[in-house]
Amino acid sequence: MGYPERRLRRLRRTPALRRLVAETRLSVDDFVAPLFVREGTEEPVAIPSMPGQVQHSRSTLVAEAKRLSALGVPGVILFGVPERKDSVGSGAFDPDGIVQVALADVRAALGDELVLIADLCLDEYTDHGHCGVLDARGQVDNDATLALYQQTALAQAEAGADVVAPSGMMDGQVGAIRAALDGAGRCDVAVLAYAAKYASALYGPFREAVEVTIAGGGDRRGYQQDPANRREALAEVALDVAEGADVVMVKPAGTNLDVLAAVRATVDVPVAAYQVSGEYAMIVAAAERGWIDGPAVALESLTAIKRAGADFVLTYFAGELAEALGG
């Protein structure tokens, strides 16, 4: 008796056959590693809610960047943990701010061997924890914030960033940053826009990592996207592309695979996805309890993100999986 479905099963029979017909291939080239760098420390500081991740010192950051580059990881994105914060987040655009000096350190050590991406936001540097400056009513002042984003982009470009990545979800942020970079003769610096960034409950470990608390128990739902909305994400992405984004990002990745697929089908620019801190922490925590095979689940989840349309993925598993994949 003929079973047409047997044709499908025949091609699953051995590992070699499965490799031969695989539709999606995940490699070290698909990873960007998020790294935290802390001002005023000589030793790395563990992040309790993200086992295996640390706040680096400047010297250990360079060592980690060298390790990742040797494994074949093509890029890193830097997040700063400053010693002092203020109402306008001045550490974000200070030429001597922690991310700027760290960018210069890594650039001096590795040259162009590694793509250096700088997260461009104010929340790590403000004493109120919001992604922009506040007006007299305590609300984020969009236009005043854009001027500071421009200053930050220029400081990061001068320090050695190949790519700046605005993550604050301010209206017009991509256009303002592109204009500032071009006006300063830095047309070479690319903009990776956090274009579809949801107000997710999965960011908790990250906020511990960068020591951010939103004042008054507030949230960012007034400027980040509602997780219930898909069409809104496509509209945000289209606006960022129109303003000059070189790459657009969907965040979080795992809970928004439908959005990721829709964005990939809609735009011609590269599409990134961020497997965020909560996604990482859940996999690691379950693996520590013996409930799942952690590396296998990490690999499966990242394959699904790529299958949905991501050209590359920001993931805290970058180093671990680069080793496993033979980077």
Which of helix, strand or coil describes residue 315? strand
Best CA proximity match to 198, nearest among 244, 165, 241, 232: 232
CA distances (Å), 282 to each of 43, 46, 47, 156, 220, in order? 26, 17, 14, 32, 23
d(CA 247, CA 175): 13
**Range list of H helices, the chain:** 6-10, 15-21, 58-71, 98-110, 142-159, 173-183, 204-209, 231-243, 257-266, 277-288, 294-308, 318-324
Q: What is the DSSP string of 57-80?
A: -HHHHHHHHHHHHHHT--EEEEEE
Nearest residue to 319 (alpha-carbon basis) of 76, 99, 109: 76
pLDDT in tens for each of the 327 residues of the chain? 567 777 888 889 999 999 999 999 999 999 999 999 999 999 999 999 999 999 999 999 999 999 999 999 999 999 999 999 999 999 999 999 999 999 999 999 999 999 999 999 999 999 998 888 899 998 889 999 999 999 999 999 999 999 999 998 899 999 999 999 999 999 999 999 999 999 999 999 989 998 888 876 667 877 788 999 999 999 999 999 999 999 999 999 999 999 999 999 999 999 999 999 999 999 999 999 999 999 999 999 999 999 999 999 999 999 999 999 975
Set 66, 85, 251, 306: catalytic member: 251
Residues 6+ apart with CB under 8 A from 45: 38, 54, 55
Beta bridge partners of 163: 117, 190
Cα–Cα distance, 250 to 152 (Å, whole number) = 22
CB half-sphere exposure, 156, CA atoms < 13 A: 34
List CB contacts of 305: < 8 A, sequence separation 6 or more.
Answer: 253, 254, 257, 260, 273, 275, 313
Question: In this structure, are residues 91 and 40 in contact, taking their beta carbons and an 8 Å threshold?
Answer: no
**Considering the domain 27-324, what is its CATH architecture?**
Alpha-Beta Barrel (3.20)
Is this prediction's pTM over 0.75?
yes
Q: Is 197 a catalytic residue?
A: yes
The DSSP code sequence of 254-305 is GGGHHHHHHHHHH-SS-EEEEE-HHHHHHHHHHHHTTSS-HHHHHHHHHHHH
Q: How far is CA 160 from CA 64, 100, 104, 117, 223, in A?
A: 17, 8, 6, 9, 29
User: Which secondary-structure segment (H or E) carries 196?
Assistant: strand 190-197
Residue extents of the structural domains in the chain: 27-324
The DSSP code for 178 is: H
Q: Catalytic site residue 251?
A: yes
How far apart are alpha carbons 152 and 176 in whole angstroms? 11
Neighbours of 266 (CB within 10 A): 14
Q: Which pLDDT score is estimated for 218?
A: 66
pLDDT of residue 212: 82
